């Protein structure tokens, strides 16, 4: 599919109001089972996490990261025009896995899915979202901190969890400790992770790391230096590819 002109954001059609995630809502976009989504996330080892001041900047920065080799990218819900950005990215990069981050309620979750998000993440566990996605073709990754939260989220139906804030909790060593009792639960690591930490996190058993400023460098975003963003994305993917995945 030919790329849209830079700065172009496709209009988002009216969003239906659903009380739950009906199959019709999921079928509006190319469905991706949670199992397949997890496999693609693990294969990549990196999720690029984007937040921008406006929709046009978000589109340009996302393009740069995806063209730099990123295959899994989430746009944070506080980003202006986030739904239009998700839809436009999904249309322009149909073979990439585009998700929504910082999803804090079921209303935003529904809208993100209908816009085309293939997965949803939160910094905490939102039980209402877990209940909503039950039985649907939507991967929801709740945020957890402690072993108790990991197990509670898993028992409630979560197929993958996001350890947040990973760096403050102890980094790769903390993930390694969590994986000992829970080797069967795929875990993301998020918050303050640098590109040179990608390998240690993956070697510790992390399914993938969530990189925000490490790829979408604040100064590069401010200047609109998308070439720098593309290079950072390429470097992050290279680091993930070289990890031993112990």
Q: Classify 82 as helix, strand or coil.
A: helix
In 3D space, the residue among 214, 210, 160, 206 whose CA is nearest the CA of residue 190 turns out to be 210
Please count the structural domains in the chain: 1
pLDDT of 17: 38
- Is the pTM higher than 0.75? The answer reads yes
Let me know if residue 216 belongs to a domain: yes
In 3D space, the residue among 3, 33, 29, 4 whose CA is nearest the CA of residue 15 turns out to be 29
Its domain, for residue 194, covers 29-242
Using an 8 Å Cβ cutoff, are 161 and 144 in contact?
yes
DSSP for 98-162, written as a single string: EEEES--SHHHHHHHHHHT-SEEE-SS--HHHHHHHTTSS-EEE-EE-SHHHHHHHHHTT-SSEE
Let me know if residue 11 belongs to a domain: no
Using an 8 Å Cβ cutoff, are 174 and 30 in contact?
no
pLDDT of 246: 57
Let me know if residue 52 belongs to a domain: yes
- CATH of residue 185's domain is 3.20.20.70
pLDDT along the chain (246 residues), means of 10: 46 40 45 92 98 98 99 98 97 96 97 96 97 90 98 97 98 98 99 98 98 98 99 98 80
pLDDT of 167: 98
Let me know if residue 17 belongs to a domain: no
Let me know if residue 18 belongs to a domain: no
């Amino acid at each position: 599919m030919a790329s849209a002109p830079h700065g172009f954001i496709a209009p988002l059609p009216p969003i239906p109001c659903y009380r739950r995630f009906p199959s019709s809502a999921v079928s509006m976009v190319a469905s991706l089972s949670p199992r397949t989504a997890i496999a693609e996330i693990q294969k990549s080892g990196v999720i690029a996490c984007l937040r921008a001041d406006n929709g046009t900047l978000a589109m340009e920065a996302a393009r740069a990261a995806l063209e730099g080799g990123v295959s899994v990218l989430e746009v944070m819900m506080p980003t202006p025009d986030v739904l239009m950005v998700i839809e436009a990215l999904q249309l322009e990069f149909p073979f990439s896995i585009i998700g929504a981050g910082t999803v804090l309620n079921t209303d935003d979750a529904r809208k993100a899915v209908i816009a085309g998000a293939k997965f949803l993440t939160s910094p905490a566990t939102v039980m209402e979202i877990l209940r909503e996605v039950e039985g649907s073709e939507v991967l929801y990754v709740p945020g957890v901190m402690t072993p108790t939260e990991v197990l509670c989220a898993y028992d409630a139906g979560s197929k993958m969890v996001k350890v947040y804030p990973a760096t403050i909790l102890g980094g790769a060593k903390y993930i390694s400790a969590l994986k000992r009792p829970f080797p069967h639960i795929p875990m993301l690591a998020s918050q303050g992770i640098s590109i040179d930490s990608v390998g240690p996190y993956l070697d510790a058993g992390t399914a993938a790391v969530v990189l925000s400023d490490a790829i979408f460098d604040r100064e590069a975003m401010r200047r609109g230096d998308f070439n720098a963003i593309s290079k950072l994305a390429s470097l992050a993917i290279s680091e993930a590819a070289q990890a031993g995945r112990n």
